[in-house]
Chains A and B, each alone.
Chain A
Amino acid sequence: DGGITQSPKYLFRKEGQNVTLSCEQNLNHDAMYWYRQDPGQGLRLIYYSQIVNDFQKGDIAEGYSVSREKKESFPLTVTSAQKNPTAFYLCASSTGIAYPYEQYFGPGTRLTVT
């Protein structure tokens, strides 16, 4: 079955540590996205990538970094510079950004930093 996998489902870290969230898709999609979800705030775009080796900042990129070395993979690193990292993180993909394609979402990773 095609889809998006995110791992782990729950992640706990101490303040000051960097942490990397995994996102893999087998839908052959060109575009991939990372969102942060906080209660009552909907989804906010962190980074997106249109194609391998290219990515763009979203609305709340500060304190985060990404890479896109393979079409299937778009890992997100939450750095120690991110002031409020505790949140639910969602990865998504779509065919591309040249048309209003629907986005397909992974199950999410809940990150807790103490």
Chain B
Amino acid sequence: AQSVTQLDSQVPVFEEAPVELRCNYSSSVSVYLFWYVQYPNQGLQLLLKYLSGSTLVKGINGFEAEFNKSQTSFHLRKPSVHISDTAEYFCAVSGKNTGGFKTIFGAGTRLFVKA
């Protein structure tokens, strides 16, 4: 079984400042990690994913995340945010269960970018 914890429910930040959204996971099997973004009243779309290989993963809109196995973390970062990055961000972990892979989503982190 796996679980995922997003450590901050809301993160306010000024435009052009850096941001880090934190995600920790636990699992008894190998995991695969995702970050999704949800703009108001819309569905989720994939930002980036870690399946294997380099632990630093680059995604769309200038976001990147680093898989840290020893700390069981997959934090999302952006060096300089824009107003348009205001959205809710979900970390997700996928692991092999009986019958196939199951994906668990975190509770979400709401990012507010202020002018």
Contacts and interface: CB of A to CB of B under 8 A. Distances in A.
Instruction: Tell whether A pairs with B.
Output: yes
Contacts of A105: 36, 43-45
Interface in A59-114: 90, 92, 96-103, 105-108, 110
A90 B44 contact: yes
B43 A90 contact: yes
Interface of A: 4, 6, 35, 40-43, 50, 56, 90, 92, 96-103, 105-108, 110
Given A40-B9, A107-B43, 10 more contacts: A40-B108, A42-B90, A42-B105, A43-B44, A56-B99, A97-B101, A100-B32, A102-B49, A105-B43, A110-B41
Contacts of B45: 105
Closest 5 CB pairs of A and B: A105-B43, A97-B100, A100-B32, A100-B94, A42-B107
A105 B103 CA distance: 14
Contacts of B90: 42-43
Interface string B69-109: 00000000000000000000010001100011111011110
Contacts of A103: 44, 46, 103
B34 interface: yes
Interface of B: 9, 32, 34, 36, 41-46, 49, 51, 90, 94-95, 99-103, 105-108
Given A97-B100, A102-B46, A105-B44, A42 B106 contact: yes
Nearest to A31: B100
25 contacts: A6-B43, A35-B105, A40-B107, A41-B107, A42-B105, A42-B107, A43-B44, A43-B105, A50-B100, A92-B44, A97-B101, A99-B101, A100-B32, A100-B51, A100-B94, A100-B95, A100-B103, A102-B49, A103-B44, A106-B43, A107-B41, A107-B43, A108-B41, A108-B42, A110-B41
Contacts of A92: 43-44
A6 B43 CA distance: 10
A34 to B, nearest CB: 12
B26 to A, nearest CB: 16
A68 B32 CA distance: 28
